[in-house]
């Protein structure tokens, strides 16, 4: 399997409560996040949302869809939201929120593996393509979220690709 690790940072001139609400209401993502085709709840979580499972379908620059389910494993309002992915991608995702003055910084850490045979086979060559696709989707997300909140996406939001990990199939 091929491992991918991505970190994205968005800085917005919006209160953390508004950003938190937009991120946690995952079923509304398709309204503002270009690239998110559908989010379907498979299992409700507790009052805080813990334990909820949602299926996400993504359609981005690449000419095929990507689908995985994500279970919420950690909820710490206005600070941290984490989950575990299962499906065509598996691994963990974690949103971290911080408010400094009028600026909210959201960081997303995404550590996943591809499970489909062809994606694993092609990883040595297609890795930059998958990474590019991720960057584009996250850029859409940042712009979409800012627009949705009537805020602005501030500079220094570049997606950062972390050093590539050793791939087990290479």
Partner 1 sequence: MTRSTSTHAHAIVLGASMAGLLTARVLSEHFSQVTLIERDPVADRPEARKGQPQTRHLHGLLASGLEIMTRYFPDLMEALEAGGAIVGDFGENMRWCTYGGYRQRFTLGSKAALMSRPFLEYLVRTRTLAQGNVTLLDNCAVRRLLTTTDRMRIVGVEVEQRTQDSAVTVLTADLIVDCTGRGSRTPQWLAELGYTAPVESEVKVNVGYATQIFRRTPSDDYARDWVLITPEAPRETRFGAMFPIEGDRWIVSMGGWAGDHAPTDPAGFLEYARTMPTPDIYNMMRQAEALTDVYPYKFNSSLRRHYEKLTRFPAGYLVLGDAISSFNPTYGQGMTSAALQAAALDELLMQRHGNLTDIAPAFFKRAAKIIDTPWQLAVGEDFRFPQTTGPKPAGIDLLNRYVAAVHRATLVDPEVGRAFAKVMNLMAPPPSLMTPGMMVRVWRANRQLRQRRPLLETVLAPLKQ
Residues binding partner 1 (CB under 8 A) = 61-64, 118, 121-122, 124-126, 128-129, 131-136, 138-139, 159, 161
Minimum distance from residue 72 beta carbon to partner 1 (Å): 27
CA gap 134, 104 in Å, rounded: 22
Minimum distance from residue 155 beta carbon to partner 1 (Å): 13
Minimum distance from residue 35 beta carbon to partner 1 (Å): 12
Q: Which is nearer to partner 1, 2 or 52 (CB)?
A: 2
Phi-psi region of 126 (alpha: psi -120 to 50; beta: other; left: phi over 0): alpha
Asked whether the beta carbons of 169 and 2 are under 8 A apart, the reply is yes
Residue 118 to residues 77, 112, 122, 160: CA-CA distances in angstroms? 38, 16, 6, 25
Minimum distance from residue 41 beta carbon to partner 1 (Å): 29
Q: Which is nearer to partner 1, 43 or 165 (CB)?
A: 165
Minimum distance from residue 88 beta carbon to partner 1 (Å): 12
Mapping DSSP to helix (H, G, I), strand (E, B) and coil, where does residue 79 land? coil
Q: Which is nearer to partner 1, 52 or 146 (CB)?
A: 146
HEC secondary structure over 119-160: HHHHHHHHHHHHHHHHHHHHHHHHHHHHHHHCCCECCCCCCE
Q: Which is nearer to partner 1, 81 or 106 (CB)?
A: 106
Best CA proximity match to 85, nearest among 107, 61, 68, 62: 68
Q: Which is nearer to partner 1, 5 or 18 (CB)?
A: 5
């Amino acid at each position: 399997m091929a491992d991918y690790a991505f970190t994205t940072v968005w800085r917005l001139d919006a209160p953390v409560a508004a950003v938190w609400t937009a991120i946690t209401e995952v079923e509304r993502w398709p309204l503002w996040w270009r690239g998110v085709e559908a989010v379907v709840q498979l299992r409700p979580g507790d009052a805080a949302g813990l334990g909820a499972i949602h299926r996400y379908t993504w359609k981005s620059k690449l000419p095929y869809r990507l689908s995985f389910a994500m279970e919420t494993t950690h909820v710490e309002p206005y600070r941290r939201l984490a989950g575990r992915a299962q499906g065509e991608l598996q691994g963990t995702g974690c949103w971290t929120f911080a408010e400094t003055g009028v600026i909210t910084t959201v960081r997303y850490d995404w550590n996943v593996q591809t499970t489909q045979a062809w994606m694993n086979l092609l990883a040595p060559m297609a890795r930059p393509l998958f990474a590019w696709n991720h960057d584009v989707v996250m850029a859409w997300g940042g712009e979409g979220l800012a627009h949705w909140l009537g805020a602005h996406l501030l500079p220094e939001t570049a997606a950062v690709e972390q050093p590539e990990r050793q791939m087990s199939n290479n």
